A = this chain, B = another copy of it.
Amino acid sequence: MATGRTHRPATRSRGIPEATVARLPLYLRALTALSERSVPTVSSEELAAAAGVNSAKLRKDFSYLGSYGTRGVGYDVEYLVYQISRELGLTQDWPVVIVGIGNLGAALANYGGFASRGFRVAALIDADPAMKGKPVAGMPVQHTDDLEKIISDNGVHIGVIATPAGAAQQVSERLIAAGVTSILNFAPTVLSVPDGVDVRKVDLSIELQILAFHEQRKAGEEAAAVAGAADDVVTPPPLRADTAAAAAAAAASRKGPDGDVPAVMPA
């Protein structure tokens, strides 16, 4: 069981660093584009630019896969596409089920890029009886009652969860019990899964909050640059009296009227 682990810490991908694995799809996408334009070879510099990374990083990444380049020339595009595809396991077919066919689930089901890389939507599953049999993306929605059978009949190892957060943990347990060992979770919850099961999450809200943090930071720096850096508004340093008071009020909302809690951020 273990506590909700979010990424793949256990598997310890022998040899290839996790950071490299995460970039391989990026390289593959850039290479595919080159391949379509019939470009025969590409240098690490060019490919790195197309993938939006540093060329040294790219070369080091490729070095984990083997020596597939030719010095003085670059990399053979088609050959590299094949090698990366093989390394990522895209030379085989991966049946996938999507659970929770609401707004998001339906959009995912309709997503073309889904099938373009060896992933095949094997089934769409929803708990709503009214959805049963209803076609979404040209495929009938099936009921959760048949989840186990669907997973096992199709040899599914990868599941996508797009249910409300409250149902996600339970759905993940059923998926795992039925044989799924990799989950892509769109529900905003931490999933607790056994060792050996990989979970990756996509959380729109978290991404926006991270952007907001930096955005606020920019606004603060800008204000500090314009003004004499005396006023605060959003900067972390001290904290104005009224803001501190609000914080104190929130903190004291339970017990006595200890109206203290001065300027925070001591350490």
> What residues of chain B lie closer than 8 Å to A230, measured between beta carbons?
none
Q: Looking at the complex, which one of B22, B157, B217 makes contact with A11 (CB distance below 8 Å)?
A: B217
Is the beta-carbon distance between B247 and A212 smaller than 8 angstroms? Answer: no
| Interface flags, A20-57, vs B, CB<8A=1, else 0 | 01101110111010000010100000001111110000
**A66 to B210 alpha-carbon distance, docked (Å):** 19
Say yes or no: is A4 at the interface (Cβ < 8 Å to chain B): yes
Q: Would you give 23 A-B contacts (Cβ < 8 Å), ordered by A? A: A6-B53, A14-B217, A15-B236, A26-B206, A29-B205, A30-B190, A50-B190, A66-B267, A67-B266, A78-B252, A79-B247, A82-B246, A85-B263, A87-B236, A88-B209, A89-B216, A103-B107, A106-B107, A116-B265, A158-B208, A182-B214, A184-B204, A200-B211
**Which A positions have Cβ atoms within 8 angstroms of B?**
3-6, 8, 11, 13-16, 21-22, 24-26, 28-30, 32, 38, 40, 48-53, 63, 65-68, 76, 78-79, 81-83, 85-94, 96, 103-104, 106-108, 110-114, 116-119, 157-158, 181-184, 188, 190, 192, 196, 198, 200, 202-218, 234, 236, 239, 243, 246-248, 250-254, 261-267
